[in-house]
Amino acid sequence: MNYRHSFHAGNSADVVKHSLLIALVRALQQKPGALTLIDTHAGCGLYDLGGEQAQRTGEAAQGVLRAFADANPLLDFYRTAVQAVNDVDEPRFYPGSPQVLAQLLRPQDGLILNEKHPEDANILRGAMRGTPAAVHERDAYEFWLAMLPTRTSRGVVLVDPPYEQTDERARITATLAAAHRKWAHGVSVIWYPLKDRVTHQQWKRQLRALGIPKFLTIEHWLYDEDMPGIYNGAGLFIVNPPYAFAQALPPLLESLRAALAPQGHRGEIAGTWLND
């Protein structure tokens, strides 16, 4: 699967990912201790929804634009993050995860970004100008392990690959196992697309075998049954989510399901513990 983000910026997967990422970081920030936020596949940082690539797919219409048309106050933090990079109410630009994370930084927090592709890394540096973010240009999986343990006692690693390589899931599984050995208490967030339930269940079995105790999986299925050969949704694996985040999750998930359900479908979104 090729998930070059400029084609998909602001789609339903972004709405879910960024809503949950904001809620997760805010929950961690209930404690005053410093956080190190790390993004292993940072992309360009900012995307033009009016650009040729985004317009070619038109996916923002079923994602961020639906979130903006929904009045549910549980989506307010998400909408605020998008509005922060726009001069008008309806979004023309979409913040990637680096921009979303930068908006959440407190003075004591740090942000470290990585983007392997030189052209995208150069665009990312421009997009992050004026923020305290450090930008690296390395292999994402080597970078992931090299950053651990974080310099602060607490941190979050976001892993959001394009799934262009056939071994992407295997690399994530192996690197997560090594990362957990180095940083057992750290919070790891792994984004993934959902194409069919059989493939996803196979990967979940492999991840379950790692024996990581606090391992939450959140799956957002757009359609009431799998649509063969197309994108059916997306989700997050979260290692060591804070208690406050997990407790507040059900109403936020329901608000996302309701806002993003395609016409004629109810959709499904749920969080479950992988090792229950």
* Per-residue pLDDT reduced to its tens digit, 176-193: 999 999 999 999 999 999
Q: Which residue ranges make up each domain of the chain?
A: 5-273
Q: Is 160 a catalytic residue?
A: yes
- Residue 136 pairs in a beta bridge with 114
Helix-, strand-, coil-residue percentages of the chain, each rounded to 5: 40, 20, 40
Q: How many CA within 13 A on the CB side of residue 5? A: 25
Please check whether residue 274 is in contact with residue 241, taking contact to mean a CB–CB distance below 8 angstroms.
no
The predicted pLDDT at position 79 comes to 97
Name the residue among 52, 43, 77, 59 with its Cα closest to residue 10.
59
| Rounded-to-integer distance, Cα 276 and Cα 265, Å | 29
| Rounded-to-integer distance, Cα 231 and Cα 211, Å | 29
The predicted pLDDT at position 2 comes to 47
Q: How many CA within 13 A on the CB side of residue 138? A: 16
The predicted pLDDT at position 158 comes to 98
The predicted pLDDT at position 1 comes to 45
Torsion of CA 66, 121, 173, 170, to 10 degrees: 100
The predicted pLDDT at position 3 comes to 53
Residues 5-273, CATH architecture: 3-Layer(aba) Sandwich (3.40)
* Per-residue pLDDT reduced to its tens digit, 199-227: 899 999 999 999 999 999 999 999 988 77
Point out the residues of the chain with pLDDT beneath 70: 1-4, 229
The predicted pLDDT at position 111 comes to 98
User: Looking at 14, 39, 109, 160, which residue is catalytic?
Assistant: 160
| Start-to-end CA span in the chain (Å) | 30
- Written as six digits, the tokens of 246 are 């997990």
Contacting residues for 130 by C-beta, under 8 A, at least 6 apart: none
Please check whether residue 108 is in contact with residue 34, taking contact to mean a CB–CB distance below 8 angstroms.
yes
| Rounded-to-integer distance, Cα 89 and Cα 102, Å | 21
- Written as six digits, the tokens of 35 are 């956080």
| Rounded-to-integer distance, Cα 214 and Cα 88, Å | 41
- Written as six digits, the tokens of 54 are 């985004």
| Rounded-to-integer distance, Cα 193 and Cα 220, Å | 9
| Rounded-to-integer distance, Cα 216 and Cα 224, Å | 22
